[in-house]
Amino acid sequence: MTNGELFLLIKNTLNNGENPDFEFDSRCIFEDITGLSALDLALNREKEADGAAAEKALKLAKRRSEGYPLQYLLGEWEFYGLRFKVGEGVLIPRPDTEILVETVINHFSAKKQTDPEIADLCSGSGCIAIALQKSMPRSRVTAVELSAEAMPYLSANIQRNEARVQIIKGDVTDGRLLDNFADPDSPGDHRQIDCIVSNPPYLTAEEMSELQREVAFEPALALDGGADGLKFYRIISCLWKEVLKEGGLLAFEIGFEQGEAVSELLRQSGYGDVKVIKDLGGNDRVVTGIKL
């Protein structure tokens, strides 16, 4: 089989009417397995494809045609200009989440603070924590994650991006986790940090019951925000306020219909200057507040 024939076969496998991005996905799978870019393919269409590679590529194409996420098949994905290892244990980094990272960076850049201390809660692959640390090299970032399945991805991503991010394994709804932020100079007190950032699970029970084909392969633990999707916003905004300094920034990613509810929650929990920020698609995507 030639390279051209292989590419066509991959494309035909993916073009089953359920995947509008089949052309893009075909190119990604073809390049990942053969190492040939679109240009390489154009120049080597008639060349014989490696048999083992062809077999592997077609296997991936079949899996993709059944709805398995492209990002998991490739094993890595880009976020904020960095590469992250991804797989079944972690949520796939979304372009929308880059707005959250940008919001935090803009906040500190406006304040001319280059060394904020930040905690990223429900860190997953670590994409937020790592993107922030790499963008603000003097920042100190802690990534908090509960899932044992996510842990190897989180550590590998910190390592491969050479980020200075410390991991705390635990449940962000468990107050005992705050002991990790004990103030060494004042026993019994917590250190006060500059920013809490989080893309917590925020899907409602109804949304969980009708997940898109691809999303159903992602960890429920990273998606399920309780009956009304707001469980983690309620708990984090209260509990983690303890370790946030006055004037510190709380920044959440939200579902596109949660802007008002999360803003109200923040106001009720003692945050001011509450803002809702839209993503590139014009949907509400981020809510921020300042601890009063």
* Binder among 69, 93, 116, 201 for ligand GLN (CB under 6 A): 201
Does 77 contact ligand GLN by CB under 6 A? no
Phi, psi for 166 (deg, rounded to 5): -95, 140
Nearest residue to 243 (alpha-carbon basis) of 127, 108, 142: 142
* Binder among 94, 140, 191, 275 for ligand GLN (CB under 6 A): 94
* Binder among 99, 215, 216, 238 for ligand GLN (CB under 6 A): 215
Does 202 contact ligand GLN by CB under 6 A? yes
Does 231 contact ligand GLN by CB under 6 A? no
For residues 169 and 146, what is the distance between their CA atoms, to the nearest angstrom?
5
For residues 233 and 237, what is the distance between their CA atoms, to the nearest angstrom?
6
Alpha helices (H) along 205-247: 205-209, 231-239
Piece of the chain touching ligand GLN by CB under 6 A; list 23-31, 60-68, 76-84, 195-203: 195-203
For residues 130 and 113, what is the distance between their CA atoms, to the nearest angstrom?
18
* Least Å from the CB of residue 59 to ligand GLN: 27
* Least Å from the CB of residue 258 to ligand GLN: 10
* Least Å from the CB of residue 103 to ligand GLN: 16
* Least Å from the CB of residue 281 to ligand GLN: 12
Describe the crossing of helices 22-34 and 3-14 by its angle, rounded to 10 degrees: 140
Nearest residue to 96 (alpha-carbon basis) of 286, 246, 292: 286
State the residue number with the nearest CB to ligand GLN: 202
Positions that interact with ligand GLN (CB under 6 A) = 91, 94, 199-203, 215, 223
